[in-house]
């Protein structure tokens, strides 16, 4: 008897959920957009699409451009003088962590794969202090326009990635990447030039 009741209730609830999918999706996105807007210090454009509530930590010194797409479970943190600037048309995939104590700048049209870590500071070991209590050394990160960053990449402090570059999945970027270069590996090294692939539109 209990199984029959469960089955019938499940069918009714499933039908209601199917019919309300579009409405619930819109509401989730509005709620996530509002949550992000409340957590940052700068105005959030209405064109930004937030598919799931991001986690905002620290000072909220974050600037987000128009038509940005944020997938669920994005973590954004700014501490001290740190800032995060995300340009127009950028895509930030699920599980990405962007943490700044200096500055992280991501230019227009860049796409960032799942579970990527972008952190502009490294912990130090200070004599007489615990590891947790030791200082950080922070240096700005600059990521150019139309950069493609694969899944699981780590971008370390002080790195500049040039326009139209590509970073292969799971790479550790510890040094600058020139424009239109493909890098991969640990540490990331150049494996191909995209100069011949780049088409300049009028």
Kindly report, residue by residue over 44-53, the tens digit of the pLDDT: 999 999 999 9
The contacts of residue 97 (CB under 8 Å, 6+ apart) are 75, 77, 116, 117, 118, 119
pLDDT digits (tens, 9 = 90+) for 10-23: 776 777 667 766 77
How much is the pLDDT for 8?
Answer: 64
- 3-state class of 143 per DSSP? strand
- CA 66 from centre of chain: 15
Model-level pTM? 0.86
34-37 contacts: CB < 8 A, separation 24 or more?
36/64, 36/70
The total of other beta-carbon atoms located within 10 Å of residue 177's CB is 24
Give the residue among 116, 85, 129 at the shortest CA–CA distance from 103.
85
From the first residue on, what is the mean pLDDT of each consecutive set of 10 residues in the chain (202 residues)?
70 71 77 94 96 94 97 96 97 98 97 97 83 84 97 97 96 96 92 62 34
Q: What gap in Å lies between CA 58 and CA 152, rounded to an integer?
A: 24
Q: Is 35 a catalytic residue?
A: no
- Write out the H or E segment, with its range, that includes residue 22: helix 21-39
- How much is the pLDDT for 44? 96
The pLDDT, as a whole number, for residue 2 is 74
From 42, 97, 123, 198, the catalytic residue = 123
Residue 27, pLDDT score: 80
Structure tokens at 153: 């990449």
């Amino acid at each position: 008897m209990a199984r029959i009741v469960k089955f019938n209730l499940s069918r009714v609830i499933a039908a209601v959920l199917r019919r309300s999918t579009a409405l619930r999706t819109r509401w989730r996105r509005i709620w996530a957009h509002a949550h992000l807007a409340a957590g940052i210090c700068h105005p959030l454009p209405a064109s930004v699409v937030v598919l799931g509530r991001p986690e905002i930590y620290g000072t909220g010194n974050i600037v987000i451009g128009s038509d940005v797409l944020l997938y669920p479970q994005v973590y954004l943190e700014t501490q001290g003088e740190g800032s995060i600037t995300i340009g127009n048309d950028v895509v930030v995939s699920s599980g990405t962590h962007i943490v700044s104590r200096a500055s992280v700048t991501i230019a227009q049209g860049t796409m960032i794969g799942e579970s990527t870590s972008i952190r502009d500071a490294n912990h130090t070991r200070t004599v007489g202090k615990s590891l947790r209590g030791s200082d950080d050394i922070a240096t700005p990160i600059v990521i150019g326009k139309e950069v493609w960053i694969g899944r699981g990449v780590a971008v370390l402090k002080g790195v500049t990635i040039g326009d139209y570059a590509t970073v292969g999945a799971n790479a550790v970027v510890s040094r600058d990447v020139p424009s239109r270069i493909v890098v991969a590996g640990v540490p990331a090294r150049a494996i191909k030039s995209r100069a011949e692939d780049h088409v300049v539109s009028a």
